[in-house]
Amino acid sequence: MRPMRLTRIITAVIVAISLIPGKCFSQVTLILNDSTPYQRIGKFVYYLPDPERKLRFEDINTTTQKTRFIKSEQESNNLGNKDMAVWNYFQVCKTTNEEWLLEIESYNIDTAELYYPDTLTGEYKKVVSGRFLPFTTKKYKSNSFVFDLPIRKNDTATIYLKIDTYYMQYPLSVSTKLAYIEEAHQRDLLAGIYYGLVIVFMFYNFFVFLNVKDKDYLYYVVYIFFNAIFIGQLKGFNAELFGDNFHFLWNYAPGVIGLTSMVSFIFTRRILETKKRVPRWDRIILYFFYPNYILIMVLSVAGQNLYASLLNQFSGLLALVFLFTLSIKVYKGGFRPARYYIFGSFFYFIGVLIFTIKGMNLLPFSFITNNAIEIGSTLQMIIFSFVIGDRLKIFKVEKERAQDDLVKSLQENEKLILGQKKMLEIKVKERTQELEEEKERSESLLLNILPEETAQELKEKGFSEPRLYDSVTVLFTDFKDFTKISEHLSPRELVQEIDICFRAFDDIVAKYNVEKIKTIGDSYMAAGGLPV
């Protein structure tokens, strides 16, 4: 009897305790205490998909509807790519005096509605947030969505949360305000480091572009900028940085991602010279990837973000394989700078791959998977900074080498010119001497056939006035029977004989001041009586 009575007493106590309202004894209740100031609550959450978005809070806040909810087995809630609404609820018991917050650690939430019971009346109140709303309407100005959990100490409450978006990743966490500030500070610190590096690398490469006039640096600046915009869109920093002036853009995340991907292909075509080195692959970029990203942007603007997001994820994985294979092919083709692209892009490709696979619900939500793109992008920028610095060094070396080659070429040209100048001077001198000798021969010949006075007049004027002399005797002589004599002599002997005779005539003419006129064959003409 005693064992039976004891069993009944224990059972009655348990039932009585379970019926006490507002106390923290349920096994599925989230306990808020000082020992765990921050924790992910995915496994405490029950969820109910609402694909048609017809359910209201009054519909699901019933005992019947609660039986339809599914208990989450994930620490971070992730339903993958689904354009719908999802109702969530969890029970929470607060055992501390601290103020607590509920945070949705994702910015890719269109709208989020929190329902919580009033601490005095018990009636549920609603708080709305999400990226569709202006940033200034948020109570907590951060890149995530944060709600107060107004629960009194030792009270138990059921919290409802409606999520409406097309990318169903919404990791939930609760924390004290102090723990939230510390956690947000760490995230902001990492974001500050990333965007600080972005600004540094953008300015560095822009100034390098201004210095060396190489458009590759300008293309890289544009690529870094759009990549930072892309990451800022994923993480919610764009709305925080640019405010509500560009709020309309924050609703088109897939379009922004598509634009960024298109810019990355433009940068790749430029840096790898695909049009010149791999024209067939270049045409794939022009006629497949470009239209694909244009379609993504059109779908996003048309409000079809789910399909735009799915296309982004599919084309993102395809682009990773394509670009990596393309860069290897270009490198094997002899374009050595492609190795920098391969090495620098490897980490970024891995980051995009991890983030995309996480979006397909194949990897759990964690610090690494959630920040994979930022980590990959940062490593890429660091590696590319060394690459570009090395390229600048190579450029300087090539410039100095070109200057040295130019100096050597100028020196060789100078030597060649000096040599040609000297050679020309020698030839001019030789030619001048030849002309002088020719002139002397001409003058000598002229004096031989003309009087000196007449010859001088010809040299000075180019012509000579005819002169009339009263007493001039013209002598004309030739050899008698010259034709018969020449028949018995050889040409050489004949010339020698004539030369001997004419030389003798010259001596006689010179002796008696007779002016030799000319010789023709065997004839000799002279004039006497001319003034000397």
The per-residue pLDDT for 492 is 84
The per-residue pLDDT for 514 is 80
Measured at the alpha carbon of residue 39, what is the angle toward residues 35 and 45, in degrees to the nearest 5? 125
The per-residue pLDDT for 419 is 83
Q: Write out pLDDT tens, residues 383-419.
A: 777 766 666 676 677 778 888 888 888 888 888 888 8
Token output for 450: 């003309």
Sites in the chain below the pLDDT cut of 70 = 1-27, 247-248, 250, 356, 358-361, 365, 387-392, 394-395, 443-453, 455, 457-459, 462-464, 531-532
**Torsion sign (Cα): 39, 45, 51, 52:** negative
Nearest to 104 by CA among 36, 165, 28, 186: 165
The per-residue pLDDT for 356 is 67
The per-residue pLDDT for 9 is 46
The per-residue pLDDT for 364 is 72
The per-residue pLDDT for 311 is 93
The per-residue pLDDT for 44 is 95
Rounded to an integer, what distance in angstroms lies between the CA atom of residue 296 and that of residue 255? Answer: 6
At 155, which amino acid appears?
D
The per-residue pLDDT for 462 is 67
The per-residue pLDDT for 2 is 45
Nearest to 325 by CA among 386, 284, 270: 284
Rounded to an integer, what distance in angstroms lies between the CA atom of residue 124 and that of residue 397? Answer: 72
Q: How many CB atoms lie within 10 A of CB 187?
A: 17
Token output for 527: 């004039």
The per-residue pLDDT for 528 is 79
The per-residue pLDDT for 449 is 61
What is the residue-wise DSSP string for 50-83? ETT----HHHHSSHHHHTT-EE---SS-EEEEEE
- How far out from the chain centre does Cα 200 lie? 16
| In the block, residue with structure tokens 């995230």 | 187
CATH 3.30.1020.10 fits 468-528, yes or no: no
Burial 394-411 (b: 16+ CB within 10 A, else e): eeeeeeeeeeeeeeeeee
**Residue 100 and residue 153 in contact, taking contact as beta carbons nearer than 8 Å:** no
Q: Is the pTM of this model over 0.85?
A: no
CATH 3.40.120.10 fits 21-179, yes or no: no
